[in-house]
């Protein structure tokens, strides 16, 4: 079929660049199952360049292990020339995930897991995560609010019960909970670098695959004043420390007396994600209430919007990143629309507002 004709038939064209035939076939099966996506495949960068000359794709998925292959510099030049968003596709070990993380920081918009299992085991949840990531990347290129259709999704009830209508005693210590998605790796770097060493305890959900969050946390920790790590079950939330939810696990903020800590849980996708921002924010409403400051940042969809409203109803102060500094103004826009946001700020002003709120 003519590639230009295929592009007219569907909304987003995805170019899969991977050396493995099995991976290309698996990804093509997953991606093409979504009626809003169409697929082109290439076994190497030089083939990808030839395909792009026939039709410029909206998104490219690129095998991380291809970093040093001949022809990749040419492909990168074409990607930059046409502003094509790139999603890294990686099955590399923890030791190599630093490579992928650096590429994300240098311009790739997201990371997906490279299929390692049979299609029947990999398909169901991966279809949701991979297709949503591709749509998010396409929207980041257009810099607009998403308008794609979505399949039914579970809310935070699937993991944590709703907050009870009772007052939470305010303590002297504030807790900051943050949710971010596409564009969040760079946005979190800017926010956390601006925070002083004695900042309140912070817990973060950044939509990112399993095995990449530990590397992401380690790199942030290397240049921030606050201490940053991937969360482990029962870790305490204390001043000057930041906990980032592990990929593929929900994170719940809990409290015993004056001690805040996190609980990691399995469970279904909530708001199409695991970890889910809605789960974290609901737990902050339930166990922290007026002691919490909520921040919702760049990302596609509405994960975190309902949870942020529950936080505000429990007395929290909530901040949204503004549209001009968001890669995608999906999650912040939905939180604002629902009425869960107290103030909308450009990215570089958020840290200052957090410090101001904590001094009150």
Among the listed residues 18, 207, 283, 320, the single catalytic one is 207
CATH number at residue 335: 3.40.50.180
132 and 257 in a single domain? The answer is: no
9 contacts: CB under 8 Å, gap ≥ 6: 38
327 and 245 in a single domain? The answer is: yes
195 and 115 in a single domain? The answer is: no
- The pLDDT value recorded for residue 123 is 60
The reply to whether 181 belongs to the active site is yes
- As a whole number of angstroms, the distance between CA 310 and CA 164 comes to 11
Q: How confident is the model at residue 74 (pLDDT cuts 50, 70, 90)?
A: confident
227 and 351 in a single domain? The answer is: yes
11 and 93 in a single domain? The answer is: yes
Which of 81, 109, 142 delimits the end of a domain?
Answer: 142
Contact 54, 3 (CB under 8 A): yes
The secondary structure of residue 2, as a DSSP letter, is: -
Q: Is the four-CA dihedral 215, 221, 224, 228 of positive or negative sign?
A: positive
Domain count across the chain: 2
- The pLDDT value recorded for residue 126 is 73
- The pLDDT value recorded for residue 102 is 55
Q: Which residue has the higher pLDDT, 358 or 92?
A: 358
178 and 128 in a single domain? The answer is: no
Q: What is the overall mean pLDDT for the chain?
A: 83
130 and 178 in a single domain? The answer is: no
List pLDDT tens digits, range 273-297: 899 999 999 999 999 999 999 999 9
167 and 127 in a single domain? The answer is: no
Among the listed residues 97, 136, 181, 215, the single catalytic one is 181
Mean pLDDT value across residues 98-126 = 61
Q: Is residue 77 predicted with pLDDT exceeding 90?
A: no
Domain membership of residue 300 (yes or no) is: yes
Domain membership of residue 268 (yes or no) is: yes
The whole model's pTM is what? 0.74
CATH number at residue 94: 3.40.50.2300
The reply to whether 250 belongs to the active site is no
Find how far residue 236's CA is from the centre of its chain.
23
Compute the residue count for the chain: 360
* Helices 21-32 and 119-142: angle between axes, nearest 10 degrees: 70
Domain membership of residue 147 (yes or no) is: no
182 and 218 in a single domain? The answer is: yes
Q: Which residue has the higher pLDDT, 100 or 58?
A: 58
Q: Which residue has the higher pLDDT, 323 or 66?
A: 323
Among the listed residues 58, 235, 278, 303, the single catalytic one is 303
The reply to whether 342 belongs to the active site is no
- As a whole number of angstroms, the distance between CA 280 and CA 251 comes to 6
> Which structural domain range is residue 93 located in?
3-142
**Long-range contact pairs involving 44-48 (C-beta distance under 8 Å, separation at least 24):** 44/17, 44/19, 44/69, 44/71, 45/17, 45/69, 45/70, 45/71, 45/72, 45/74, 45/75, 46/70, 46/71, 46/74, 47/17, 48/15, 48/17, 48/75
- The pLDDT value recorded for residue 213 is 87
The CA R_g of the chain, rounded to the nearest whole Å, is: 20
List pLDDT tens digits, range 31-64: 998 999 999 999 988 899 999 989 899 999 988 7
Find how far residue 328's CA is from the centre of its chain.
11
- As a whole number of angstroms, the distance between CA 76 and CA 68 comes to 12
Domain membership of residue 203 (yes or no) is: yes
204 and 320 in a single domain? The answer is: yes
List pLDDT tens digits, range 160-216: 777 765 545 556 689 999 999 988 988 999 999 999 999 999 999 999 877 788 888
């Amino acid at each position: 079929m003519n590639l230009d004709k295929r592009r007219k038939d569907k909304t987003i064209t995805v170019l899969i660049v991977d050396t493995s035939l099995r991976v290309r076939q698996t990804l093509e099966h997953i991606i093409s199952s979504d009626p809003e996506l169409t697929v082109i495949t290439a076994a190497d960068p030089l083939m990808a360049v030839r395909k792009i000359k026939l039709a410029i794709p909206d998104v490219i998925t690129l095998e991380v292990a291809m970093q040093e292959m001949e022809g990749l510099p040419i492909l990168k030049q074409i990607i930059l020339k046409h502003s094509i968003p790139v999603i890294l596709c990686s099955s590399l070990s923890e030791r190599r995930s630093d490579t992928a993380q650096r590429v994300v920081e240098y311009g790739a918009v997201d990371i997906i897991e490279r299929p390692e299992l049979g299609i029947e085991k990999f398909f169901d949840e991966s279809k949701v995560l991979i297709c949503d990531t591709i749509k998010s990347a396409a929207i980041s290129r257009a810099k607009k609010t998403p308008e794609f259709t979505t399949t039914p999704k579970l809310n935070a009830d699937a993991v944590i019960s709703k907050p009870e209508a009772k007052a939470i005693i305010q303590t002297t210590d504030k807790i900051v909970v943050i949710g971010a998605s596409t564009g969040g790796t760079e946005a979190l770097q800017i926010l956390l670098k601006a925070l002083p060493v004695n900042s309140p305890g912070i817990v973060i959900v950044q939509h990112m695959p399993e095995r990449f969050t530990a590397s992401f946390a380690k790199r942030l920790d290397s240049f921030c004043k606050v201490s940053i790590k991937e969360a482990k079950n029962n870790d305490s939330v204390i001043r000057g420390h930041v906990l980032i939810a592990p990929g593929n696990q929900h994170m719940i903020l809990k409290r015993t007396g004056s001690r805040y800590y996190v609980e990691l849980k399995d469970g279904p996708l909530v708001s199409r994600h695991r970890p889910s921002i809605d789960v974290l924010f609901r737990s902050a409403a339930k166990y922290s209430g007026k002691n919490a400051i909520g921040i919702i940042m760049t990302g596609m969809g509405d994960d975190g919007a309902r949870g942020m409203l529950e936080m505000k109803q429990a007395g929290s102060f909530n901040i949204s990143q503004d549209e001009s500094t968001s890669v995608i103004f999906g999650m912040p826009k939905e939180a604002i629309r629902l009425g869960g946001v107290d103030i909308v700020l450009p990215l570089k002003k958020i840290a200052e507002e957090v410090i101001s709120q904590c001094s009150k």
